Amino acid sequence: MIGKEVDTSLSTRGTDLRVERVVVTNEKVLGKRIRDLHFKERYDVVISRLNRAGVELVASSDASLQFGDILNLVGRPASIDAVANVVGNAQQKLQQVQMLPVFIGIGLGVLLGSIPLFVPGFPVALKLGLAGGPLIMALILGRIGSIGKLYWFMPPSANLALRELGIVLFLAVVGLKSGGDLSIR
C-alpha cells in the first residue's frame, strides 16, 4: 500500500449525501417497478443496487420490488428516511412467517399433483404426485412473488424448520413401512 490510510469517504466528501440500505416490507410497493415509484423525482434519491435473496443486481428502472429486497439508496439523510418510510424498512417483518401462503401453496400443489396427464403410448395417466405438484407450484408462486397482501416469502429460520420437519416425517414413514412386517415374540 502506498501512502497513509484515511477515514474520509471520497465518494461523499464535501456533500451531505449518504448511502444506506433499506428493506422492502411495505405491501403497497410490492410488485411495482422502481420507475413507477419516482424516488429520483420526488425525493432526489437514487437506488444504486438491488439485493434480492443475497444476489446483488443492478437496479434497473424495470425491476419490480419484492418482499425482502434490500435497496442501496444514495441521497440526503432526510430524503433517505422518507424513502425508507415508503418502502417499509421494518426488519422485524422479515422474521414473521405468513402461514396462509404456505398452506395455499401446498394445497394448490397437491391439486396440481393429482391432475392426471394422458400421454399417448402410456397405458396409464401420469401424475406429478404429492412431491412434484407442490414443487412445481412453489416454483410458479415464487416467480409471481406476491398476490395482493399475500407474499411468498419465508424467513430462513422457518424454511429450515420446515425442511427438518419434512426429513423427520420422511424417516418416520420409511421406518414404519420397513418395520411393519416385523413381529415381536
The pLDDT tens digits for 94-116 are 888 888 888 999 999 999 999 99
| For the chain, domain boundaries | 18-93, 97-179
Does 18-93 carry CATH code 3.30.70.1450? yes
pTM of the model: 0.68
pLDDT digits (tens, 9 = 90+) for 1-43: 677 877 766 565 667 888 999 999 998 888 899 999 999 999 9
67: number of Cβ within 10 Å? 21
Triad 168, 174, 115: Cα angle to 5°: 90
Closest residue by Cα to residue 35 from 11, 66, 58, 62 = 62
Cell triple for residue 46? 437514487
